[in-house]
């Protein structure tokens, strides 16, 4: 299709779609007046039944835990796909040393950057860990914490350099960690199926509200998610970081 | 082990095994992973078959996390398994197992990702068929998608593979968020995500919101189902994806999209949209017929055998959409039987193409001219597959199309089955045309000016007798035999009709899922004798042979060559549309969605 | 009026994202437009679950039973964002690979198969 034909087609279709969506949303209840009942029922029963203040976490890992399991595996499959595609022409075994590499675009890395980077890394680790562990009590959780923690990898890359990053994050242990995180979630589901007849039923002791170890399997699943998201995103950044390097040919002997 | 526990097992065991495979993959020989994957596939097939038998006595419901509904409000996610869903899930597991068996000897150097991703893909499809929750359906749709994109790019050294995967990913992702748009609309209206609860809350009348929500959800799912004009990604993806994956794509993944449209319609919207069903019928049949003929015609011009089969799948999607569009229980029954018959046939044909690629190094029909003479059994398999695609007895596709024909007659659309017959015969004829060229060198000499299809590098070393190549032939023959056998199983038609009745019974599902009342055994209405359909079935096969004969031999007649050239040039605009440019696909998708939404909204007032 | 504006925003984002995708001349730009279009669904989902004058559904400091917004839409959006991010990452990896092989990111020049 010529560019003009395509532009005409998308303009017409886009206008039509805009009108259709506006017609559709006109039928919704007015903004700010959620009618329920799903959310209201959960807000009422969850704090009591699961001893958990953060209802969003309860929904994610308990009431709608199967959705989160599926989403974990989406992350897992996507990381596998990325590794597949980007690793094609880098067939290095883990025993070989890193090849000599040349930075494609370089900015100076001063001492100030290194120092500030190290500080930022420390703060990020602490904050990410805090965010990830307190899923049941605060608006945090495995996803949020795992993503923040994986930012540590990016900080290492920028502040301390590619070599430091590649040495710190070896692909095999992280792949194993990621797989264990995902598999553990499925395994918990299977175990609860066997134990209680319902998949992902919250069968562990619930503890008191507001305590760190509370809400039964929600806490355990949250840790699995934290581990998996952290490992998965770090692997992602590693793969993309490798792409900023060019394989250099052997230096000639003069 | 209660049957209700089988439902979560069927999708979570392959996921757990996939993670295990990824964790231990670098440390164990490849054979171990392959064997583990095949064993998991067999387990899932058995589990889903048992589930189907249990579902025949009443929809099997499993509430995740033990969250049973309170006062008619669903708190958690439910799997609501009816016989059709379980049967299709079993079929998925079965096809995956056969595809993995085929891979046993097929790939020289495939690492852990392949069986791991295949298991994830299978798990996603199984969950997709079993679920009774709308957002859960979306999650499995995305999981199925991501695994498929990754697997399509598997031979990433071939840049056209990655490009095909990219187009696939972009187009299907737009489909996914169209579904989400629809879900947001119905959730905003009803505050429910469980399908049974939604149907109760939507009431008996449809306004613009309900109609458009259905239109968006259906459009997104029909992108997966490759209905025109959402179909462009399919041909590109099939041409470059590894062969065992094409078996699954054309065998069941595409049809899963259509199943979900049927499921969402019958379980959620059929009450609200019932008064307008003639509009939906008309609109969907229009789209379906365009798809069926576009696919059939495009199939005829293809030199790349896998791409030819992909266009045939698109044509069959058009036929299946017409079957669904009848909006009756019998239509659903016919659609499901047709899906099974077509899936087995297409799977067998794709495995044949994989053997071609492996043994002869190419799937280009013109390059293979006359070379298939050395493989008589392969030619026989392709011949039978082509007849099955046209809907010749005794194949499963014939049984499906005769059920569809009866369903259409019932509602006064007696002309429709004949039109569909021609479309199916076109695809069968296209395969026969290719076979004639490959096996006997018939047909006009290849046009030297024609563009060569992108080079497809062999997926494994050609000619190597490492391992057990007989396995490849066995797998492909097995599938074709099954395609034949499905049409012959006694009582299959009755069972299908009964399952169809259950599928459309919205009130019954509501009672079982939300009010936890016990289910009833499947009714088994008697099927009409198919003697009258036999004639039209054989006619379809004859028509396919006729189409192929025209394509192969018309150039030898005095005026034939000129006529063929005129026909070719008339079809050039259609071919030019399929240009491989991703942005065009996006524009067509937007246009198709706008057309579908506008048609439904305007006429359903 | 405010309802109309609130719900028109996701409608516009959605259509604008699609327009950007269809007229794109660069695969990276196309992927980012996909992200934009996806974000329209997040906005819509969150909007339908909102309640004026209500608090977040976290009952740490407030008593259970206080008027709160819908927690389900929050959970759905969380799931959504992760899915969207991972698909974007996968598509970016594809684009990177395509660039390495074909040295271009122009969709018009990158045709897998024609006809």
B62 three-class SS: strand
pLDDT at B466: 40
Question: Lowest-pLDDT range, A127-131, B321-325, B349-353, B492-496?
Answer: B492-496
- Decide if pLDDT at B253 tops 90: yes
Choose among B309, B544, B311: nearest CA to B429.
B544
Token digits of residue C58: 């976290």
A&B contacts, CB < 8 Å:
224
**What is the percentage of chain B residues whose pLDDT exceeds 90?**
37
Which chains border B (3 or more CB–CB pairs < 8 Å)?
Answer: A, C
Single out the residue of B458, B320, C30, B13 nearest to residue A199, CA to CA: B13
Q: What is the DSSP string of C31-78?
A: HHHHHHHHHHHHHHHHHHT-BTT-B-SB-SSSPTTS-B--HHHHHHHH
For residue B460, the surrounding DSSP H or E stretch is none
User: Helix axis angle, B582-603 relative to B232-240, nearest 10°?
Assistant: 140
Query: CB–CB of B243/B106 below 8 Å?
Result: yes
Q: How many CB atoms within 10 Å of residue C22?
A: 27
By the CB < 8 Å criterion, does B159 face chain C?
Answer: yes
Contact call for residues B68 and B421 (beta carbons, < 8 A): no
> Quick check: C109 contacting A, CB < 8 Å?
no
Can you give the pLDDT at residue A88?
A: 62
What is the arithmetic mean of pLDDT over B357-368?
A: 79
Q: Do B591 and A37 touch (CB under 8 A)?
A: no
Substitution target in A50, A59, A64 with the highest count of B β-carbons within 10 Å is A64
| Between residues B546 and A36, the one the model is more confident about | B546
pLDDT at B107: 63
Give the pLDDT of residue B449: 54
Give the span between the Cα atoms of B359 and B213, in whole angstroms. 49
What value does the mean pLDDT take over residues B487-502? 78
Q: Are B332 and B410 contacting, i.e. CB atoms less than 8 angstroms apart?
A: no
Across chain A, mean pLDDT equals: 80
Chain C residues within an 8 Å CB radius of A55: 57-59, 68, 71
Mean pLDDT of A20-30: 90
Average pLDDT over residues C52-59: 84
Which ipTM was obtained for this model?
0.94
Q: Is B575 exposed, middle or buried (0-12, 13-18, 19+ CB in 10 A)?
A: middle
Smallest Cα–Cα separation from B74: which of B6, B142, B134, B7? B134
- Angle at CA of residue B390, ends B385 and B394, nearest 5°: 70
Domain C2-102 architecture? Orthogonal Bundle (1.10)
Cβ contacts of B8 on chain A, cutoff 8 Å: 66, 189, 193, 199
Interface of C with B in 48-107 (CB under 8 A): 48-49, 70, 72-73, 76, 79-80, 83, 86-87, 90-91, 94-95, 97-98, 101-102, 107
Distance CA A224, CA A186 (A): 10
- B396-412 residue pLDDT tens: 888 888 888 888 888 88
**Cα A154 to Cα A92, A164, A165, A239, C35, distances in angstroms:** 23, 11, 8, 12, 21
Identify whether B169 is preceded by a cis peptide bond (ω within 30 of 0): no
pLDDT in tens, B428-476: 999 998 888 888 878 777 766 555 554 555 554 444 434 346 777 777 7
Chain C touching partners, 3 or more CB pairs below 8 A: A, B
Query: pLDDT value at position A95?
Result: 36
Tokens of residue C41, six digits: 């669904």
Overall average pLDDT of the B556-572 stretch: 79
pTM higher than 0.90: yes
For the beta carbon of residue B193, count every other beta carbon within 10 angstroms.
Answer: 24
For residues A42-64, average pLDDT? 83
Per-residue pLDDT band for B598 (boundaries 50, 70, 90) equals very high
Minimum CA–CA partner of B594 in chain C: C15
Residues of C in contact with A74 (CB under 8 A): 82-83, 86-87
**C-beta atoms of C64 and A43 within 8 A:** yes
Contact check, Cβ <8 Å, B593/A17: yes
Please check whether residue A113 is in contact with residue A159, taking contact to mean a CB–CB distance below 8 angstroms.
yes
List CB contacts (< 8 A) between B180 and chain C: 41, 45, 80
Q: How confident is the model at residue B109 (pLDDT cuts 50, 70, 90)?
A: low
How do residues B114-171 score in pLDDT, each as one tens digit?
Answer: 899 999 999 999 999 999 999 999 999 999 999 999 999 988 778 888 999 999 999 9
* A-contacting residues in B 317-356 (Cβ below 8 Å): none
User: HEC string of chain A?
Assistant: CCHHHHHHHHHHHHHHHHHHHHHHHCCCCCCCECCCCHHHHHHHHHHHHHCCCEHHHHHHHHHCHHHHHHHHHHHHHHHHHHHHHHCCCCCCCCCCCCCCEEECCCCCCCHHHHHHHHHHHHHHHHHHHHHHHCCCCCCCCHHHHHHHHHHHHHHHHHHHCHHHHHHHCCHHHHHHHHHHHHHHHHHHHHHHHHHHCCCCCCCCCCCCCCCCCCCCHHHHHHHHHHHHHHHHHHHHHHHHHHCCEEECCCCCCC
Q: Do A78 and B8 touch (CB under 8 A)?
A: no
pLDDT at A96 over 50: no
Phi and psi at B232, nearest 5°, equal -60, -35
Contact (CB<8Å) C23/A210? no
Q: What is the pLDDT of residue B363?
A: 80
Question: Could you tell me the residue ranges of all domains in chain C?
Answer: 2-102
What sign has the CA pseudo-torsion B312, B318, B323, B324?
positive
Residue B476 has what pLDDT? 77
How remote is the C-alpha of C75 from its chain's centroid? Answer: 15
The DSSP letter of residue B266 is I
Q: Is B594 in contact with A67 (Cβ distance < 8 A)?
A: no
Pairwise CA distance, residues A40 & C65, whole Å: 9
Between CA B213 and CA B205 the distance in angstroms is 14
Contacts of C51 in chain B (CB under 8 A): none
Encoded tokens for B182:
């629809």
In chain A, residues with a C-beta closer than 8 Å to the C-beta of C70 are 34, 36, 38-40
Q: How far is Cα A40 from Cα C98, in angstroms, rounded to an integer?
A: 48
Where do we find the tokens 């290492």? A156
- Over range B88-114, report the average pLDDT: 82
Average pLDDT across chain C, whole number: 89
Determine the pLDDT at residue A187.
84
Residue C2 near chain A (CB below 8 Å): yes
pLDDT value of residue A122: 92
| Residue C27: band (very low, low, confident or very high) from pLDDT cuts 50, 70, 90 | very high
* Residue B206 tokens, joined: 């449809």
């Amino acid at each position: 299709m010529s560019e003009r034909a395509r532009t005409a087609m998308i303009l017409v279709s886009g206008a039509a779609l805009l009108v259709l969506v506006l017609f559709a949303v006109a039928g919704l209840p007015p903004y700010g007046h959620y009618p329920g009942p799903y959310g209201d029922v959960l807000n009422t029963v969850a704090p009591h039944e699961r001893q958990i203040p953060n209802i969003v976490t309860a929904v994610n890992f308990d009431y709608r835990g199967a959705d989160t399991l599926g989403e974990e595996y989406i992350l897992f499959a996507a990381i596998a796909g990325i590794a597949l595609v980007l690793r094609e022409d880098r067939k290095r075994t883990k025993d070989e040393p890193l090849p000599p590499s040349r930075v494609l675009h370089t900015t100076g890395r001063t001492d100030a950057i290194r120092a500030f980077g190290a500080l930022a890394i420390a703060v990020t680790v602490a904050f990410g860990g805090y965010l990830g562990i307190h899923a049941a009590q605060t608006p945090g959780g495995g996803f949020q914490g795992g993503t923040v923690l994986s930012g540590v990898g990016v900080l290492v890359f920028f502040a301390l350099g590619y070599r430091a990053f590649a040495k710190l994050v070896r692909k095999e242990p992280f792949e194993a960690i990621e797989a264990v995180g995902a598999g553990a979630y499925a395994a918990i589901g299977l175990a609860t199926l066997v134990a209680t007849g319902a998949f992902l039923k919250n069968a562990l002791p619930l503890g008191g509200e507001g305590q760190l170890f509370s809400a039964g399997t929600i806490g355990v699943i949250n840790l699995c998610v934290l581990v998996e998201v952290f490992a998965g995103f770090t692997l992602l950044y590693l793969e993309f970081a490798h792409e900023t390097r060019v394989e250099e040919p052997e230096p000639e002997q003069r | 082990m209660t049957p209700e526990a089988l439902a979560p097992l069927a999708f979570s065991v392959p996921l757990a095994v996939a993670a295990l495979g990824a964790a231990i993959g670098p440390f164990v020989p490849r054979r171990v992973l392959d064997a583990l994957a095949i064993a998991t596939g067999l387990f899932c097939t058995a589990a889903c078959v048992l589930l189907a038998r249990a579902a025949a006595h009443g929809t099997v419901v499993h509430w995740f996390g033990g969250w049973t509904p309170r006062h008619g409000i669903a708190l958690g996610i439910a799997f609501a398994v009816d016989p059709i869903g379980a049967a299709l899930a079993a079929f998925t597991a079965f096809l995956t197992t056969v595809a993995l068996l085929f891979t046993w000897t097929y790939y020289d150097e495939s690492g852990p990702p392949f069986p791991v991703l295949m298991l994830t893909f299978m798990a996603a499809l199984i969950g997709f068929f079993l679920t009774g929750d709308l957002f859960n359906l979306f999650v499995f749709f995305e999981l199925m998608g991501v695994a498929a994109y990754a697997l399509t790019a598997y031979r990433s050294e071939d840049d056209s593979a990655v490009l095909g995967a990219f187009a696939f990913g972009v187009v299907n992702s737009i489909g996914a968020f169209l579904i989400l748009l629809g879900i947001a609309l119905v959730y905003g209206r009803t505050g429910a995500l469980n399908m049974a609860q939604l149907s109760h809350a939507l009431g008996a009348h449809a306004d613009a919101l309900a109609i458009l929500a259905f239109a968006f959800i259906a459009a997104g799912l029909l992108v997966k189902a490759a209905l025109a004009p959402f179909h462009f990604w399919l041909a590109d993806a099939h041409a470059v994806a590894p062969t065992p994956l094409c078996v699954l794509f054309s065998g069941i993944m595409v049809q899963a999209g259509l199943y979900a449209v049927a499921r969402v319609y019958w379980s959620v919207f059929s009450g609200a949209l019932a008064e307008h069903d003639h509009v939906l019928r008309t609109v969907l049949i229009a789209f379906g017929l365009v798809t069926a003929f576009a696919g059939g015609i495009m199939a005829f011009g293809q030199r790349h055998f896998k791409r030819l089969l992909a266009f045939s799948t698109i044509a069959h999607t058009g036929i299946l959409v017409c079957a669904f569009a009848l909006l009756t229980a019998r239509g659903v029954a016919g659609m499901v039987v047709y899906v099974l018959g077509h899936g087995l046939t297409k799977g067998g044909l794709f495995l044949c193409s994989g053997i071609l690629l492996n043994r002869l190094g190419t799937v280009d029909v013109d390059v293979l001219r006359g070379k298939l003479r050395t493989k008589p059994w392969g030619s026989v398999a392709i011949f039978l597959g082509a007849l099955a695609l046209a809907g010749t007895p005794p194949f499963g596709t014939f049984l499906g199309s005769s059920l569809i024909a009866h369903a259409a007659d019932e509602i006064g659309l007696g002309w429709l089955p004949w039109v569909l017959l021609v479309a199916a015969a076109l695809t069968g004829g296209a395969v026969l045309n290719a076979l004639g060229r490959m096996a006997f060198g018939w047909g006009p000499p290849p046009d030297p000016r024609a563009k060569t299809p992108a080079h497809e590098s062999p997926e494994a070393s050609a000619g190597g007798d490492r391992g057990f190549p007989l396995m490849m032939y066995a797998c492909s023959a097995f599938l074709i035999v099954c395609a034949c056998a499905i049409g012959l199983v006694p009582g299959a038609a009755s069972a299908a009709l009964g399952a169809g009745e259950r599928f459309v019974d919205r009130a019954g599902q509501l009672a079982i899922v939300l009010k936890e009342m016990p289910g009833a055994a499947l009714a088994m209405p008697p099927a009409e004798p198919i003697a009258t359909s036999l004639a039209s079935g054989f006619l379809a096969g004859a028509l396919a042979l006729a189409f192929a004969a025209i394509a192969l031999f018309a150039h030898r007649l005095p005026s034939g060559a000129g006529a063929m050239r005129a026909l070719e040039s008339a079809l050039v605009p259609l071919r030019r549309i399929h240009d491989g440019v991703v942005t065009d696909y996006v524009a067509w998708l937007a246009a198709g969605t706008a057309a579908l939404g506008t048609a439904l909204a305007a006429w359903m007032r | 009026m405010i309802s109309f504006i609130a719900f028109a925003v996701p409608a516009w984002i959605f259509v604008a994202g699609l327009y950007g995708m269809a007229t794109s001349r660069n695969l990276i730009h196309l992927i980012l437009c996909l992200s934009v279009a996806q974000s329209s669904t997040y906005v819509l989902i969150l909007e339908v679950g909102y309640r004026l004058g209500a608090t977040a559904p976290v009952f740490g400091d407030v008593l259970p039973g206080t008027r709160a917004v819908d927690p389900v839409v929050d959970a759905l959006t969380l799931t959504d964002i992760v899915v969207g991010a991972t698909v974007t990452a996968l598509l970016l990896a594809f684009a990177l690979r395509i660039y390495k092989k074909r040295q271009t990111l122009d969709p018009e020049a990158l045709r897998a198969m024609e006809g």
